[in-house]
Structure 1
Amino acid sequence: MTIDVHQHLWTPAFTEALRRRTAPPRLDGWTLHLDGEPPFPADPLDHDPAARLALDRELDLALVSLSSPLGIESLPPEDAWPLIDAYHEDAAALPAPFGAWAAACLTDVDPVRLRAALDLGLAGLQLPATAVGTEEGLLAVAPLLDVLAERDLPLFVHPGPAGSPVASGPQAPDAQVPGAQAPGWWPAVVPYVQQMHAAWFAFAAFGRPRHPRLRVCFALLAGLAPLHSERLISRGGPGRGRVDPGMFVETSSYGPRAVDAIVRELGVDVVVNGSDRPYATAPDLAPVLGEAARHAVTVTNPGRLLNRDRHRPRPPAEPEGARRR
């Protein structure tokens, strides 16, 4: 019954749509070109559905999502929607144990299109952290969050483009990564973490009052933002011990020590399993936290996040030529 809420899989229609582009984000063969990051040579095997099925054979559900660092959601509508539509079409056709998060265009906020995507059986909506890291950003996407609330489905917050600022306004930095000369680990360790940190506190301060029942999951342990509670309190923030049961964090690219620290701060009930496959693997928590905590993180908590009674993986596709009797 193990659930992984965070994977990426570039399927055929989506990759072909990226190859047709002449400006970032684009694919040249299997080399990915993004603004603010060095060219990334992707491994085709990482995005082969059959190979991924073999890796995920022990999972009950593996949720894939659009790669938000590509910046697709922030493209002009005429560029963004063809890529998002290709992603949705491919994602909805994936066999069990796959499920998927919906995506949305941030330059054309469209609740009607989100409802149509969710009607395909998608698990909820993913938005880049750069879209929800400020009060203004949360107000802009509020119509999408209202759709999730009416469907009782969650929001997944994922790092956005590495070159995107985490703040808005005239004093905002132009970028969070020093061009193509940055080491390969830089985006994952610096801008992605900063974005998630901002998104966690922005939702707590501005999003939660407007969306009181929305369940939200923050990738990569929200950039360890919950561990800053002492500093928050010292600067006049709400008191320690006030855990929001609807604000979840997932574990990708962290290990047992970081997860243990988060559990000590938030408790185990809001921690969910995520791998960020094919770029990382999920941590083995049992040796440090024990079997009960492992079960909570990989089964119970993600089931609660996703409202599992309403979201189940699709059954395996019927063999070609088979007929129901």
Structure 2
Amino acid sequence: MPADVHQHIWPPEFVALLRARSTPPRLDGWTLHLPGEPPYAVDPADHDIAARTRLARADGLDLALVSLSSPLGVEHLPPEEAGPLLAAFHDGALDLPAPFGVWASPCLSAPEPDPAAVRRELARGCAGLQLPATALLDAAGWARCAPLLDAVAALDKPLVVHPGAAPPAPAGTPPWWPALVPYVQQLHGAWFAFRAFGRPRHPGLRVCFAALAGLAPLHGERLVARGGGRDRGRVDRDAFYETSSYGTRAVDALIRAVGIDVVVSGSDRPYARPAALVDPVIPGLGGDAAGHALHTANPARLLGPTRGARP
């Protein structure tokens, strides 16, 4: 059955805690304040659980996985601030009605990451772990997160890499700047660091990069030219790419680089709408088989036997 592996909902208690904060990330009414982005007017309907449930069912989804919005930077807040926010998100998201499931998020600001906390959230029914790309940009990042990833792999769960908090934008930049510049740069860095450091350390881990990894796999020719692509022809069947904010041309280009079997459908609702990804005009991307792969077969392989089901 069809799945959307990338959505966001803020449960009511999580919203209340954001409103109680005096420093970013915080909500003033429904205006979101973040350190690196201009104030953002949140539509209350985007986090109305009944409305979003109807929308997911109208989309024909059997499963819609929601996660913490990593650009908020909650994972990197001091533990005494991050803890209540993470608990409110997990508790509220795990209580969402069908067809919703949940990605777990950890606190990353403690002296050492806590794999036991990740195991607890996975045991409660989370489909896998989400980490911000900003935590995985180099060898040190992958090494620091290794205990969390070992816990995930031991339970046969996947990892999702999502853009993290953006740095302050230069004066005068348009509001779309964070999504198009730092978010994409983060995904590029995390993807190349995964190739160099993450995959050798975690050979069996299933990993899904949000937003097609910012199209990082399309740099394969440059990677070969610079001496880093001796295995360019080998497809990592456990490295997946979800489609949010991209359409047919980008998805087609990525499929030509990595194959269709590792591309999964994600929308990034409420920040984007599902794109019409199956286009019969483009060879190899048309027809029911491609749609079944992106929406059903590939997400099922990413998520494993439980497919994000709660115990």
Pair in the same fold by TM > 0.5: yes
Number of the residue aligned with 1:127: 131
Q: Measure, in 2, the Cα distance between the counterparts of 1:151 and 1:129.
A: 22
Number of the residue aligned with 2:122: 118
TM-score normalized by the length of structure 2: 0.95
Where in structure 2 are there 5+ consecutive unaligned residues?
none
- Cα pair 1:96 1:313 within 8 Å, conserved: no
Number of the residue aligned with 2:72: 70
Q: Measure, in 1, the Cα distance between the counterparts of 2:271 and 2:245.
A: 9
Q: Measure, in 2, the Cα distance between the counterparts of 1:273 and 1:139.
A: 29
* Alignment match of 1:295 (pick from 261, 274, 292): 292
* Alignment match of 1:217 (pick from 205, 208, 224): 208
- Cα pair 1:193 1:223 within 8 Å, conserved: yes
Q: Measure, in 1, the Cα distance between the counterparts of 2:235 and 2:189.
A: 18
Q: Does 1:34 align with 2:44?
A: no
* Alignment match of 1:283 (pick from 275, 280, 285): 275
Q: Does 1:267 align with 2:263?
A: no
Q: Measure, in 1, the Cα distance between the counterparts of 2:175 and 2:293.
A: 33
Q: Measure, in 2, the Cα distance between the counterparts of 1:208 and 1:279.
A: 30
Number of the residue aligned with 2:307: 311
User: Residues 67-216 of structure 1: matches in 2 within 5 Å?
Assistant: 67-108=69-110, 109-163=113-167, 177-179=169-171, 181-216=172-207
Aligned-residue offset at 1:219: 0.3
Deviations 1:120-142 (A, max 9, x none): 11000000000011111111111
Q: Measure, in 2, the Cα distance between the counterparts of 1:89 and 1:45.
A: 20
- Cα pair 1:38 1:182 within 8 Å, conserved: no
Aligned-residue offset at 1:313: 3.9
Number of the residue aligned with 1:169: none
Number of the residue aligned with 2:10: 10
SS in 1 for 2:27: strand
- Cα pair 1:96 1:314 within 8 Å, conserved: no
SS in 2 for 1:81: helix
Q: Measure, in 1, the Cα distance between the counterparts of 2:296 and 2:137.
A: 29
- Cα pair 1:95 1:314 within 8 Å, conserved: no
- Cα pair 1:214 1:246 within 8 Å, conserved: yes
SS in 1 for 2:279: helix
Aligned-residue offset at 1:17: 0.9
TM-score normalized by the length of structure 1: 0.91
SS in 2 for 1:119: helix
- Cα pair 1:247 1:270 within 8 Å, conserved: yes
SS in 1 for 2:32: strand
Q: Measure, in 1, the Cα distance between the counterparts of 2:225 and 2:215.
A: 18
User: Residues 230-245 of structure 1: matches in 2 within 5 Å?
Assistant: 230-239=221-230, 240-245=232-237
Q: Which amino acid aligns with 1:129?
A: A
SS in 2 for 1:287: coil
Q: Measure, in 2, the Cα distance between the counterparts of 1:296 and 1:96.
A: 22
Aligned-residue offset at 1:272: 0.4
- Cα pair 1:25 1:35 within 8 Å, conserved: yes
CA RMSD of aligned residues (A): 1.2
Q: Does 1:247 align with 2:239?
A: yes
- Cα pair 2:126 2:310 within 8 Å, conserved: no
SS in 2 for 1:261: helix
Where in structure 1 are there 5+ consecutive unaligned residues?
164-174, 316-325
Q: Measure, in 2, the Cα distance between the counterparts of 1:201 and 1:65.
A: 23
Q: Measure, in 2, the Cα distance between the counterparts of 1:314 and 1:70.
A: 26
Q: Which amino acid aligns with 1:193?
A: V
Identity of aligned pairs, percent?
63
Q: Measure, in 1, the Cα distance between the counterparts of 2:248 and 2:51.
A: 27
Q: Which amino acid aligns with 2:242?
A: E
- Cα pair 1:36 1:178 within 8 Å, conserved: no
Q: Measure, in 2, the Cα distance between the counterparts of 1:258 and 1:194.
A: 17
Q: Measure, in 2, the Cα distance between the counterparts of 1:251 and 1:131.
A: 22
Q: Which amino acid aligns with 2:249?
A: R
